[in-house]
Structure 1
Amino acid sequence: MVANLEQGRLLGPDLFFSCPPSVENLFLSIRMSRLAGQEEHSHDATMELSNIFNILATNNPDNIVSDSETDAAEGTGNNSSNGKVAGLPCRQEPLKKLTELSLWNMVNGVVLKDILEYTPNLEKLSLPPIYTAIDTTILADHIASRCHKIHTINYDTLGGMPSTDLALKILERLPQQQVKSFHCSYFDCVIDDLMARNVFQRHSATLRHLQLHGGIAVSSMAIQVILTECPALEKLETLLIDRTSSIMLGHAVEKPWVCTKLKTLELSVGMTKLSLEGGVRPYYDRDHPVVLFPQEKEQFDALEKFYRQVAALVDLENLKLRLQPFNAHQPTSDGSDYMEYTFPAMLSVGDDVKGYPGYLDLFAGLTKLKRLQGSTYANTEETFETMGWSEARWFTTHLPALGTVEFFQQGQKTRAPFKWLERQQRGARRPLVLYLQ
């Protein structure tokens, strides 16, 4: 529907209460009109909607009454509307067949509460942004009690504006082990480990898709709870704008992951930058054979544990790992872009003569992997020294489903081993894209 925001919110309840009882899936959204010609667009949209719903009413006359009849009746279901549209029928009965409802930007919190009184069998709910002052605890209690069959929740906000914690509170109040999918972005609270247990662990046996996007603050321990206590997960996406919303390497390897069914994993991993004394150069820039310092050995041991956790996810099809470096003496990110880094020794087979560690062979079992993205670049200072012909040849004989690996950014010069790899794969079992998508 084309309208301005205020007009859309006025029409939303009317559209809902005009739907015939046969409706099973309902999606209401606004395509914002330009300032010029708003009234014309809105008028056209209203006329078009009137025609649509008149047709629906003709085909499904049960439980449909006219506006005049509704106004004459007591206790109509349309008491939440602020501006009725002439010609639209008005239903008084619940939408008992409705299982999926999306109200993108069409209603406020008060109207949402009224509407959900009439959706007793709702299973999938896409919540509108709630910016108005409202008690989200009361609203969440109401939704969970009236729509107790919900198993899928989507909550996104317009333009990334902070919103409420309503979606999380609904998740916390629905019957245990019921929710299958949860997608949320941009709200003004922090998900810590206690909240993660209260919200996600209570659905750990059923939760298959979990997507936390945008401006959400999620603690490292909260991500650990998800990885170690949600065995049903098939999709986990936690790449967030907040640079501190990463799982620290120590937390990532502290406990075994139970989410072994994952097909999609997007994860940001925080790692402290080593500060070697006396101006000692990084391991890949020292004389051969390299002897690792104790701090380096400890970090590589932790990295190997992390790589083994990932490599055990043999059903993975999409893997995006971002490295988020932290300064040794500061609890905050150093502000670097993840594209400036590659996970140390992750994409190297290692070199015993030079003393370079390498863990690429650990990932040979990911035979279903189609996309490898994130901090996987072959042009960093480290990978320029530790990745070459051996790694290029490795990729010709492993990971048979791989179609994209982000070795380079668009416009970057491709190194000779990887040009060769790209040529080898053009006529092979799969084309291989080596650039950022």
Structure 2
Amino acid sequence: MTTNASLQARREAAVPRGVGVAHPVFAARAENSELWDEEGRRYVDFAGGIAVLNTGHRHPKVIAAVEAQMARFTHTCFQVSPYEPYIALAERLNAIAPIEGPAKTIFLTTGAEALENAVKIARAATGRPGIITFAGGYHGRTLLTMAMTGKVLPYKKHFAPMPAEVYHAPFPFEPFGVTVADSLRAIETIFRADIEPSRVAAIAIEPVQGEGGFIPAPTELLQALRKLCDQHGILLIVDEVQTGFGRTGRMFAVEHSGVKPDLIAVAKSLAGGFPLSGVIGRAAVMDAPEPGGLGGTYAGNPLACAAALAVLDVIEEEKLVDRANAIGAAITSRLHKIAARNDVAPIAAIRGPGAMIAFDVVKERGGYEPDAERTKQVLAKAREHGLILLSCGVNYNTVRLLVPLTVSDAVLDEGLLALEQALAA
């Protein structure tokens, strides 16, 4: 019999240690918000493949769309022989994205590719090199996106030097003692000390930081960045890789602020588990690169495009944007009740829009000193109780909840009970 332990031994022998694994639980099958390992044990999935499964594991409509496309063809390379699903998906995203004026979309494969191409497009459109991002932000593991990412461990260690002309400002978060005014002053300092604004191509920001700890960007900050970008001819890139497609109670998280960016990077839940990413942007900006300057052999794979079209149908038909708000309200209510107890691990800073919810494990009730070791224990105990959880945050003490938006109330309650038991252990 294949076991988790035997697969772990094979994994250690065959796969580099640099590929980290959160749980030594090897998936055998999955449906909606549930997963079974190779030993037949069932888990409630509150990780969602790191925000990839807003429509759940193997949604029937997504699977049917992919099967239908497989019967036609699986690959031609869009740059060789293009196909209708790519165009149809671009049309749909152009119509719903919060972009001012006409929009265009390019498809790629990974979130990091989306951010890299957003930067390429911004540089082509402005003729400028500089990029400003934020501490705690995560944009990918490629060399450029590592430079954009505002977290050294584990993403940058041993990989220096980083590409030039990337600068970081602090991200506002009250428990860290950083305000919106602090962040804006830091950008002005960058303009004075490092690079003049006339050489900055873009400012890139996550509307809710993902790996940085599920920290929402204040509306005040996003509005100020839009004004700053307009003042200096800088493009505003919003990284919606983790936040997009209903997760935050809006189709795109930036919609909470009313701000319209110039470029939006998307991936993860776009295609329901199939590898697909994209950049949506103002048409004039998107057309800046020369023909051949954008693309990729597997970019916009037809199976993934078919899946994404089905995902958009499911989000609309099953009202998953509204469902995200209902799920988030249920999770937040339960967490506040847990936080009030004296017989559980102290938790603080319950936060997040829609169903993108997180909290921090701290050492003392009423304080904010992070407890990274206890956080690891909570994740391990949750697994023992049949719940798959993930952590994040610059202090490694944030527990994030990314349950599929298609979860039933019964399975959601089951997962929250397991979380409560893990915190009480």
- Between structures 1 and 2, the one with greater helix share: 2
Give TM-score scaled by structure 1 length.
Answer: 0.22
Q: Which has the higher contact order (CA 8 A, sep 6+)?
A: 2
